[in-house]
Amino acid sequence: MRYPISIKGILFVDGKVVLVRNDRNEWELPGGRLEHGESPEQTLEREFAEELSVKVCAAEIIDSYVFEVVPSEHVFIVTYGCRLLGRFMPVLSHEHTEFSLHALDDLTHIPLPAGYARSINAWSERA
């Protein structure tokens, strides 16, 4: 079975993780689909720029897994730890309804898929 590939980035700003809210009213990591001819690192740089007008670099792969977005629709998620390049002055795109900075302790109290929370916690231990 083949799945689309989505590259997601974990970025901490002032000790809090950057999350965006999707149209399913869930919080998620910024990122998106790998495009033809693009490396995963280039995907993250492009997606952070498109979604938040923020410059990042991918530091290292954190996790990968198959995620069921909605019933019977799966995507292969690859998460990377990211580093901020420049200042954090986000401008939200039309792709999401909101962005926020969340403390690690908040993650169990918000609608956030378990795989993202696992990746965030793993990067927080390394970053």
Rounded Cα gap, residues 48 and 86, in angstroms: 13
Tally Cβ neighbours within 10 Å of residue 80: 26
Query: What is the Rg, in whole angstroms, of the alpha carbon atoms belonging to the chain?
Result: 13
Question: Contacts from 33-38 at CB under 8 Å and sequence distance 24+?
Answer: 33/4, 33/5, 33/6, 33/7, 34/5, 34/6, 34/7
Alpha-helical (H) ranges within the chain are 40-52, 114-126
Tens of pLDDT, residue by residue over 26-72, are 999 999 998 999 999 999 999 999 999 999 999 999 999 999 988 88
pLDDT at 18 over 80: yes
Q: Which domains does the chain have, with CATH numbers?
A: 5-126 (3.90.79.10)
Give me the pLDDT at residue 69, please.
85
Over range 72-100, report the average pLDDT: 93
Q: Classify 42 as helix, strand or coil.
A: helix
Which has the closest alpha carbon to 82: 33, 46, 35, 37? 46
Rounded Cα gap, residues 117 and 5, in angstroms: 19
- Residue 84 pLDDT level (bands cut at 50, 70, 90): very high
Tally Cβ neighbours within 10 Å of residue 19: 25
